[in-house]
Amino acid sequence: MGFRKKSKSPPVLSHEFVIQNHADMVSCVAMIVLLGLMFEMTAKFAIMFITVQYNVTETLDTEDKPEPVSYYKYGPKDMATVFFYLLIAIILHALIQEYILDKINRRLHLSKTKHSKFNESGQLATFYSFSFIWGCSILTNEEFVTNPTFLWEGYPHIHMAFQVKFFYICQIAYWFHALPELYFQKVRKEDIPRQLYYICLYIFHITGAYVLNLHRLGLVLLVPHYLVELSCHIRPGLCLSRRFTLWALLFVITRLLTLTVSVLTFGFGLSRTDNQGFSLAEGNFNVLTVRVTCLSAICLTQAWMMWKFINFQLKKWREQSQIQASKKKAVSPKSRPSKKDSRGETFLKVILYVDYNKTHVYLSFVHN
């Protein structure tokens, strides 16, 4: 990991050297981009990596006087901004790992398997909590609570507020940074396919919502999903429970909410708007093919998540039933004594019974 002092340094540019010092290397690249702001020749290129691009200013007519309002569109230059904040995400990932998670791991003395799961849950819990709070703050300024039709009214939604666009830039950058982290964190081979599945799904859905000008729908679906994932990773016992706990109930409700909002938006809202057609220049993708593709992708993803959830619960129930069966076998009574020992055992029981009666009488006599 970066920021870690080692007594023995591995060979330069070896795998171990890159893994241990990747955060320092990435910090140098980010510093080069920031230093570009100091020179006039490179400032226009450096600012493309740091600031949000494609600013559009519109004038809103109010009762007193017109007020200029700034909005943002998306374009090819956003890839440079995503790349820079991908570097920032790698640096923050190393800082959280080094100064928080590693210190907790030293106190807990976890095994290698639990150590890797703890690191994964710690990183994801931090990201989910930050994204959930940020997403809620954005939604409070929108009209979804009072008017759900804002999901499709006025489509295409080519104009975004600064917070909305920066939110999507950070989301895309974070999930792209998770790909090289599989190498930097030395993730086990058996865990790589599982992590690749959900990383690619996040990249596919978030980028799709951003490019297709469906950022309103994407934000509404991401916030409750992040809440469920946060409740899972902030306390792993909720996910590992053998019964339908609060986390399981939230998971099922969120899947149903996602399907309901998606069907309402693509099946009823966008299909009935006046602005139908396909135009890359205008950012309009409101055609039947795109709507069916988007709705199918969301439904298939939710069905896959529910399938994994059901299999997970069934697996835990089987394990619990096996544990209970083994406990019953361990507590079961011993076999009956043989005929040779039955006489002696009966004699011992009679003596114990008599002694118990005498003791009982003696105690009751003393008590009286």
**Is the CB of residue 285 less than 8 Å from the CB of residue 156?**
yes
- Cβ proximity of 115 and 145 under 8 Å: no
In tens, the pLDDT along 253-264 reads 999 999 999 999
Q: Which residue has the higher pLDDT, 82 or 106?
A: 82
Q: H helices then E strands: how many in the chain?
A: 12, 4
- Which is it for strands 67-72 and 55-60: parallel, antiparallel or unpaired? antiparallel
Q: What is the pLDDT of residues 34-59, one digit of tens each?
A: 999 999 999 999 999 999 999 988 87
pLDDT score, position 303: 95
Give residue 130's pLDDT: 96
| Of residues 41 and 114, more confidently modeled | 41
State pLDDT tens for residues 139-171.
Answer: 988 766 678 888 998 899 999 999 999 999 999
- What b/e sequence results for 3-12 when a residue is b if at least 16 CB atoms lie within 10 Å of its CB, and e otherwise? eeeeeeeeee
pLDDT for res 64 = 64
Query: How many residues belong to the chain?
Result: 368
**What predicted TM-score, i.e. pTM, was given to this entire model?**
0.83
CA-based nearest residue to 88, from 202, 160, 172: 172
Q: Mean pLDDT, the chain, as a whole number?
A: 84
HSE toward the beta carbon, residue 215, CA cutoff 13 A: 27
Cα 60 from Cα 68, distance rounded (Å): 6
pLDDT at 348: 41
Confidence of residue 323 (pLDDT cuts 50, 70, 90): confident
Mean pLDDT of 295-310: 94
Q: What is the pLDDT of residue 160?
A: 93
174 contact partners, CB below 8 Å, separation of at least 6: 86, 89, 127
Q: Express as a percent the part of the chain with pLDDT over 90.
A: 56
Categorize the per-residue pLDDT at 124 as very low, low, confident or very high, splitting at 50, 70 and 90: very high
Contact present, 265 and 151 (Cβ < 8 Å): yes
